[in-house]
Amino acid sequence: MGFGKLFTLQFLMFAEIAVGYALCRFKVLKPKDRSVLSKLIMNVLLPCSIINSFNMEMNSTLLGQFIQIFIISLLIEIGGIIFNLFAWNWAEKNVQPTLKYGTICSNAGFLGNAVSEGVYGPMGLIITQIFLVPARMIAFSFGAGYFSGGKSFKAIIKTIFTNPCLIAVMLGVLKMLFNPPLGPINDVLASLGRCASPMAMVFIGMILGESGFGHLLSKYNLAYAFVRLLLIPVLTLIPCVLLGVDPLVTSIAVVMAAMPAGSTASVFADQYNCNAEFAANCVVFSTLLSLFLLPGWVTLLNAVL
């Protein structure tokens, strides 16, 4: 990928984030509007984008890539859970849930889709959806337990099978396998799906506009940013290279592993009274750093793979 395309993608991301920031700072949008936008993205726009991305026929190469990225994603999540058993015990009790949740739940569902599609095209977006299956299953079930103090097995299963994005992945796979004649429905899916990435960037800008830039340089934020943006992607890249994993799969896995904290961390923290202000600052700080570090990861991956 050339630097021109990467620069264009970064410029668009910054511009869209700036729009969300400005709308919030000038009181055009209020905090309650962010909740509405988040629901719109997660329940409508992103599922449409996911289903629309499966516009190709299944073949042995694609199936192999799906299996590889699924296993890598699952291992990353398991590794994060094990890491959480001891890594954040030194932190204050009211910030531990955010740090643990953020370790296994990144913003790959929002920011990651924009980056993977912009850098690696439709194929990158499809592979990203498979990567996100284990990530979403863990984040919306096991991960939420960090805030709530644990969830029952029944609640975990219900969360998995009612998540709109996971349902969209299943529908997308069926669409790719059987290629049904959807006609105008494809146009509707494509039209709504194109809105997902820009709206996700506006959403991040609204978080910045609401929380501001104070209290970002805390020891917890710095430690978390190191783990989320550097340590996890490095520990993903090295085994993939040594094991000869498909270059495109490796690139997407590393880029997704380098995503910032998931924006849902602040929602869960607020719901369970676990220092929502810190959670918002954690999301903002890691997101700002990622906008500078992601081009570096993409450039490195293009050079070594």
Task: Choose the weakest-confidence range: 118-122, 201-205, 242-246.
Answer: 201-205
The residue among 24 and 229 whose pLDDT is bigger is 229
Query: Given pLDDT bands bounded at 50, 70 and 90, which one contains residue 160?
Result: low
Non-local CB neighbours of 211 within 8 Å, separated by 6+ positions? 277, 280, 281, 284
**What is residue 1's predicted lDDT score, i.e. its pLDDT?**
47
Q: Which sign does the torsion angle of CA 105, 215, 113, 34 carry?
A: positive
Structure tokens at 89: 């015990």
Residues 6+ apart with CB under 8 A from 59: none
User: What are the pLDDT digits (tens) for 262-298?
Assistant: 777 876 777 677 877 788 788 888 888 888 898 899 8
Q: Which residue has tokens 């690696």?
A: 120
Domain boundaries, the chain: 3-304
CA separation for the pair 143, 185 (Å, rounded):
34
Q: What is the mean pLDDT of the chain?
A: 83
Q: Tokens for 295, please give them.
A: 């081009």
Residue 35 — pLDDT band, cuts 50, 70, 90? Answer: confident
Alpha-helix runs per DSSP H in the chain: 3-25, 31-40, 46-53, 60-84, 96-104, 113-137, 145-148, 153-162, 164-178, 184-193, 196-211, 219-226, 232-242, 247-257, 264-271, 276-304
Classify each residue of 75-97 as buried b or exposed e, where b means 16 or more C-beta atoms within 10 Å of its C-beta.
ebbeebeebbeebbeebeeebbb
**Residues across the chain:** 305
pLDDT one-digit tens code per residue, 74-127: 999 999 999 999 999 999 988 999 999 999 988 887 777 778 878 888 888 889
Are 267 and 92 within 8 A, CB to CB? Answer: no
Is residue 120 within 8 Å of residue 246, measured between CB atoms? no
| Local structure of 133: helix, strand or coil | helix
> What's residue 133's pLDDT?
82
According to the model, what pLDDT value does residue 152 have? 57
Mean pLDDT of 49-71: 82
DSSP state of 54: -
The top-level CATH class assigned to 3-304 is mainly alpha
> What proportion of the chain, given as a percentage, has pLDDT over 90?
28
Q: Which residue has the higher pLDDT, 235 or 193?
A: 235
3-state secondary structure at position 262? coil
Least reliable range by pLDDT among 1-10, 107-116, 167-176, 268-277:
1-10
pLDDT-above-70 percentage for the chain: 88
Rg of the chain taking only CA atoms, in angstroms: 18
pLDDT of residue 2: 43
pLDDT confidence bin for 140, thresholds 50/70/90: low
Q: Are 200 and 114 in contact (CB under 8 A)?
A: yes
pLDDT of residue 197: 74
pLDDT band at 25 (very low <50, low <70, confident <90, very high): confident
Q: What are phi and psi of 106, to 5 degrees?
A: -100, -175
